[in-house]
């Protein structure tokens, strides 16, 4: 994984400076240009800024190809990512200069709106990459997800043994705790980080509410069972937090990439229409 | 009952072994608990699940209290069992089979764990689902969906069906073009090329040049319409409003941008605008000349008129009601509200100044016009009196006074009549042409100017459009009193010299008028030569430059008064050498010549050309005493 600090600070913020330079030059062109009919996307300055913006967009798309090309001998991926973030963010401000702040209910503004979704999901992605990995590490506490799941399986087996000689009420609780506990699932379930219908929580609740008076060995078994299920519940909370953090790292990209392609489609329609009806 | 229980156990090698166990019990208890006759492992099995019992030689399965038995897939509280029946208990199957040695056992049962369940980790993994992408909710299908959706809705559908092209529209077109908004081809005639000038000129075919054809202005002559007039910027956007700096680009320093012109620099109405140049009549027989406004400027229209003696005077209105003469009584705006209609004797003067000629017949008046025609009318009037036997003049010869109508005139009578009529005509004409006389009140007399060589009237030319280089709308200024801009034509408060009640000053259709207190510095117009056109300072009372912030004054771009396209200069893109494809929309041939005659640099001539060809020309034409006033050009609105 690319550390956020490293790619944002790449080469002493080289691409932040490049992005700012492009933006301020464009701003100057916009401010000092005074075409006869007023500023617009179809003045020479407008065409120029639009060409720059479109070129940047298509270049940004190329990151998807570049990041899969592990054998590339060109600039390091860190540099690409740095430029991707800064130039992409700059587009939010460059495109309105191109259109001279004219927007409407049309495919031209649609291209900009789609691009905004891409830009802001990207910014969200950068923010997630800056914050979430630390949370993941802290939450895992040096245990892998697989190890946590293995531990759950062990607890399940222990529960089965512990419940073996206990009344049906306990057996039922253990069955619920095993069969009704799900991890992950729908996008919402993964993002929420908890499951209101978690079988383990239900089982723990019912065990604690048990009114059956057990004696001797059975009582010892019961105590052991409750302890096992309680431990399982804690472990599940930890696992679900982990799932939530990882889904955050994935979610923005599921928005970012499809909208980027939709933006390109809208951009092509925009360019086609503008030059068709010149 | 004697029972043989056979457990079928699966060895790790995969081989099945049968383990028999014989019991002799009253009832066979089945459950998870170790105290049962048949103890089965599995948390879903109750400690005591069911009991098998013999009765009348038949085998019955009964569920323990609160439990159920599943026999052959059917769930119930109890069931009679036969050979071949299968009980499902937890993950176990319990089958009733034929006892191998009849008589030795009452019942034979075999059981095995069929549903051995995976290990706990595999079971858990089956309940774990990680990763957000699943099915169609994954980056690749979503990306394809986005591409297909955008392309089909916004490219393919509009290409196939024009009705879906509205998302292509970058913005509403201006109001004037709204009626062709859905007909893209009416302007965008060729695909993948800009809107061409001829696309615009299909409708705007007579759009005029900015400067006379003698002045080559490459930047303008080669420009496309769309360079300046940007469409699709909203209904309310004025395509002609090109911002404050547009005109000033050239007009702030004409000496360097266009040395050929004698026009003076102007860049901002508030700060940098030359004095108005008037089209002034200095000889009523000649064209008006373009002059700067100076205090001693005098118009020579051929008329005598005093605003002081007219405005605010009490007159008898229609219905004998006393009224005050106010501006609107003579000055009415034209239908477009821009300029004032000409003052016409019959409409505006005759009510008070009747051209009667005989005190005994005050209702008989001659028409306003040629003295020869007037003389004929007077002669006819008196001749009729003789012929009708209606001569009542005490000074007439007795024979004429006593003459009866219908009788043929004798030679003597004819001679008497001629003398008497000649005398009366001479008397009437004296009344008209003597000084002071009826005509002399307003006109300069010109002996020999009448069509029959008699006393005539000197030529008259009244200016209606004084500043032809601009467009002024009286209608736009209707909320203000006339005297705000033309104070010298204003009046004293009539209360000072009349005892009449204060009148209502606003007549229907009249320019609103109000009395102003006359100050010592206010001029008073007593002669028709007075120039009552306000100068630039008066306009600046309300109008500031285009960049003014408002609040106190009207920000006024050049285009508020000055049209860019002037039809009189020929069509856009043509210069003097070019074939004169342009024919001005006027029958007046002089107008077409006008453009070519201009010496570049002769600003007076330029104004005169504008004046004659574009901005309400005043041309004497045969049969019309009042000059033809044409509508100012629409160019500014185009």
Q: Sketch out chain B's domains with CATH numbers.
A: 2-118 (2.60.200.20), 344-457 (no CATH)
SS3 of chain B: helix, strand, coil, percent, to 5: 25, 20, 55
Structure tokens at B3: 């029972």
Starting at the edge strand that comes first in sequence, how are the strands of the sheet with B27-31 ordered? B38-39, B27-31, B50-55, B58-63, B78-81
- In degrees and rounded to multiples of 5, residue A203 shows phi and psi of -60, -45
Would you say the ipTM is above 0.95?
Answer: no
pLDDT digits (tens, 9 = 90+) for A170-186: 999 999 999 999 999 88
Rg (CA), chain B: 55
Cβ burial B604-615 (10 Å sphere, 16+ → b, else e)? bbbbbbbbbbbb
Q: B25 CA to chain A: closest CA distance, Å?
A: 24
Is A27 within 8 Å of A43 (Cβ atoms)? no
Question: How distant is the alpha carbon of residue B19 from its chain centre?
Answer: 102
Question: How distant is the alpha carbon of residue B195 from its chain centre?
Answer: 22
pLDDT digits (tens, 9 = 90+) for A218-252: 888 888 899 999 999 999 999 999 999 999 999 99
Of the candidates B170, B234, B161, the residue with the CA atom closest to the CA atom of residue A105: B170
pLDDT digits (tens, 9 = 90+) for B182-197: 888 889 887 778 888 8
Q: How far is CA B279 from CA B298, B463, B618, in A?
A: 12, 8, 11
The tokens 């005098």 sit on which residue?
B298
> What DSSP character marks residue B200?
H
Structure tokens at B76: 């119930």
Task: Tell whether B49 lies on the interface with A, counting CB pairs under 8 A.
Answer: no
> What DSSP character marks residue B498?
-
pLDDT digits (tens, 9 = 90+) for B422-461: 999 999 998 898 888 889 899 988 888 777 777 888 889 9
- pLDDT value for B509: 38
How far apart, in Å, do the first and last CA atoms of chain A sit? Answer: 46
Instruction: Give the residue from chain B lying closest to A182, CA to CA.
Output: B127
Judge: A165–B138 Cβ closer than 8 Å, yes or no: no
pLDDT digits (tens, 9 = 90+) for B292-317: 888 788 999 989 898 888 877 777 76
- In degrees and rounded to multiples of 5, residue A263 shows phi and psi of -60, -45
Task: Read off the pLDDT of each residue in B278-282 and give the average, rounded to a whole number.
Answer: 90
pTM over 0.80: no
CB atoms near residue B24 (< 10 Å)? 9
Of B130, B131, B230, the CB nearest to A40: B230
Instruction: Give the residue from chain A lying closest to B132, CA to CA.
Output: A187
- B578: which residues sit within 8 A by CB, 6+ positions away? B213
Judge: A278–B167 Cβ closer than 8 Å, yes or no: no
SS3 per-residue string spanning B153-179: HHHHHHHHCHHHCHHHCCCCCCHHHHH
pLDDT digits (tens, 9 = 90+) for B464-500: 888 888 889 988 887 777 777 887 777 555 444 433 3
How far apart, in Å, do the first and last CA atoms of chain B sit? Answer: 115
Q: Scan residues 236-265 of B and list those with Cβ closer than 8 Å to A.
A: 242-243, 245-246
Rounded CA-CA distance B157/B29 in Å is 75
Instruction: Give the residue from chain A lying closest to B128, CA to CA.
Output: A183
B289 pLDDT exceeds 70? yes
Judge: B120–A108 Cβ closer than 8 Å, yes or no: no
Is B561 within 8 Å of B471 (Cβ atoms)? yes
Task: Read off the pLDDT of each residue in B546-572 and give the average, rounded to a whole number.
Answer: 87
- In degrees and rounded to multiples of 5, residue B523 shows phi and psi of -70, 160
Judge: A102–B125 Cβ closer than 8 Å, yes or no: no
Burial of B59 (0-12, 13-18, 19+ CB in 10 A): buried
Cβ burial B404-431 (10 Å sphere, 16+ → b, else e)? eeeeeeeeebeebbeebbeebbeebbeb
Task: Find chain A residues with C-beta within 8 A of B149's C-beta.
Answer: 262
Could you tell me the maximum CA-CA distance found in chain B, to the nearest angstrom?
185
Q: A230 CA to chain B: closest CA distance, Å?
A: 17
- Domain locations in chain A as residue ranges: 4-141+250-276, 145-247
Of the candidates B477, B481, B547, B485, the residue with the CA atom closest to the CA atom of residue B512: B481
């Amino acid at each position: 994984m690319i550390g956020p600090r490293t790619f944002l600070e790449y080469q002493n913020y080289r691409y932040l400076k490049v992005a700012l330079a492009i933006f301020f030059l464009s701003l100057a062109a916009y401010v000092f240009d005074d075409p006869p009919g007023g500023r617009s996307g179809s003045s020479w300055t407008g065409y120029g800024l639009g060409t720059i913006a479109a070129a940047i967009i298509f270049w940004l798309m190329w990151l998807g190809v570049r990041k899969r090309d592990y054998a590339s001998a060109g600039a390091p991926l860190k540099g690409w990512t740095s430029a991707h973030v800064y130039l992409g963010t700059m587009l939010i401000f460059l495109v309105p200069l191109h259109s001279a702040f004219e927007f409407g209910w049309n495919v031209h503004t649609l291209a900009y709106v789609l691009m905004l979704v891409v830009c802001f999901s990207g910014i969200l992605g950068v923010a997630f990459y800056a914050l979430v990995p630390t949370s993941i590490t802290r939450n895992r506490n040096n245990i892998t997800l697989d190890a946590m799941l293995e531990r759950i399986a062990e607890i399940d087996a222990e529960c089965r043994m512990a419940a073996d000689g206990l009344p049906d009420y306990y057996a039922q609780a253990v069955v619920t705790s095993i069969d009704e506990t799900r991890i992950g699932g729908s996008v919402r379930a993964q993002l929420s980080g908890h499951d209101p219908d978690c079988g383990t929580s239900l089982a723990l609740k019912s065990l604690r509410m048990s009114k059956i008076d057990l004696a001797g060995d059975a009582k010892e078994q019961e105590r052991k069972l409750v302890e096992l299920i309680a431990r399982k519940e804690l472990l599940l909370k930890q696992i679900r937090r982990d799932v939530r953090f990882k889904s955050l790292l994935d979610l923005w990209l599921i928005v970012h990439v499809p909208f980027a392609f939709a933006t390109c489609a809208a951009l092509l329609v925009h360019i086609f229409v503008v030059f068709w009806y010149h | 009952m004697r029972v043989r229980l056979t457990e079928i156990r699966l060895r790790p090698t995969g081989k099945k072994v049968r383990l028999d166990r014989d019991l002799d019990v009253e009832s066979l208890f089945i459950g998870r608990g170790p105290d049962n006759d048949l103890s089965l492992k599995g948390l879903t099995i109750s400690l005591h699940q069911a009991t098998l019992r013999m009765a009348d030689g038949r085998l019955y399965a009964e569920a323990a209290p609160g439990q159920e038995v599943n026999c052959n897939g059917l769930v119930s509280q109890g069931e009679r069992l036969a050979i071949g029946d299968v009980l499902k208990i937890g993950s176990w199957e319990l089958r009733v089979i034929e006892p191998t040695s009849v008589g030795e056992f009452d019942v034979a049962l075999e059981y095995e764990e069929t549903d051995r369940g995976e290990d706990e980790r595999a079971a858990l993994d089956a309940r774990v689902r990680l990763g957000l992408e699943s099915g169609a909710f994954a980056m690749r299908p979503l990306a394809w969906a986005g591409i297909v959706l955008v392309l089909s809705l916004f490219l393919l559908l509009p290409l196939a069906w024009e009705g879906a092209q509205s998302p292509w529209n970058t913005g509403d077109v201006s109001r004037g073009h709204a009626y062709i908004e859905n007909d893209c081809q009416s302007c965008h005639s060729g695909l993948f090329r800009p809107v061409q000038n001829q696309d615009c000129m299909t409708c705007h075919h007579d759009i005029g040049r900015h400067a006379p054809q003698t002045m080559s202005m490459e930047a303008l002559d080669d420009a496309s319409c769309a360079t300046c007039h940007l469409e699709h910027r909203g209904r309310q956007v004025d395509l002609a409003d090109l911002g404050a700096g547009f005109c000033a680009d050239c007009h702030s320093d004409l000496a360097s941008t266009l040395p050929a012109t004698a026009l003076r620099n102007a860049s901002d109405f508030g700060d940098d605008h030359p004095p108005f140049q008037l089209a002034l009549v200095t000889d009523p027989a000649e064209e008006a000349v373009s002059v700067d406004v100076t205090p001693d400027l005098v118009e020579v229209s051929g008329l005598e008129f005093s605003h002081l003696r007219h405005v605010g005077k009490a007159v008898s209105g229609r219905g004998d009601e006393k009224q005050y003469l106010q501006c609107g009584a003579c000055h009415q705006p034209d239908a477009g509200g821009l300029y004032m209609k000409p003052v016409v004797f019959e409409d505006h003067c005759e009510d008070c100044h009747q051209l009667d000629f005989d005190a005994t017949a005050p209702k008989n008046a001659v028409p306003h016009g040629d003295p020869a025609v007037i003389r004929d009318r007077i002669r006819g009037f008196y001749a009729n009196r003789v012929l009708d036997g209606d001569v009542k003049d005490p000074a007439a010869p007795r024979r004429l006074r006593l003459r009866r109508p219908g009788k043929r005139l004798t030679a003597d009578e004819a001679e008497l009549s001629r003398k008497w009529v000649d005398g009366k005509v001479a008397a009437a004409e004296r009344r008209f042409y003597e000084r002071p006389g009826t005509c002399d009140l307003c006109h300069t007399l010109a002996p020999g100017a009448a069509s029959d060589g008699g006393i005539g009237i000197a030529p008259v030319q009244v200016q209606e459009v004084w500043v032809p280089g601009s467009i002024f709308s009286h209608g736009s200024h209707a909320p203000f009193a006339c005297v705000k801009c033309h104070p010298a034509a204003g009046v004293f408060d009539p209360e000072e010299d009349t005892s009449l009640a204060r009148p209502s000053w606003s007549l229907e259709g009249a320019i609103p008028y109000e009395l102003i207190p006359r100050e010592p510095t206010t001029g008073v117009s007593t002669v028709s030569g007075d120039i009552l056109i306000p100068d630039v300072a008066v306009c600046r009372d309300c109008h500031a430059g285009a960049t003014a912030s408002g609040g106190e004054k009207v920000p006024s771009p050049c285009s508020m008064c000055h049209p860019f396209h002037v039809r009189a200069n020929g069509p856009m893109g043509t210069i003097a050498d070019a074939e004169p494809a342009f024919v001005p929309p006027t029958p007046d041939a002089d107008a077409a010549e006008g453009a070519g005659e201009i010496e570049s640099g002769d600003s007076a001539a330029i104004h005169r050309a504008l004046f004659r060809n574009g901005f309400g020309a005043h041309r004497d034409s045969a049969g019309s005493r009042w000059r033809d006033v044409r509508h100012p050009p629409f160019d500014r609105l185009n």
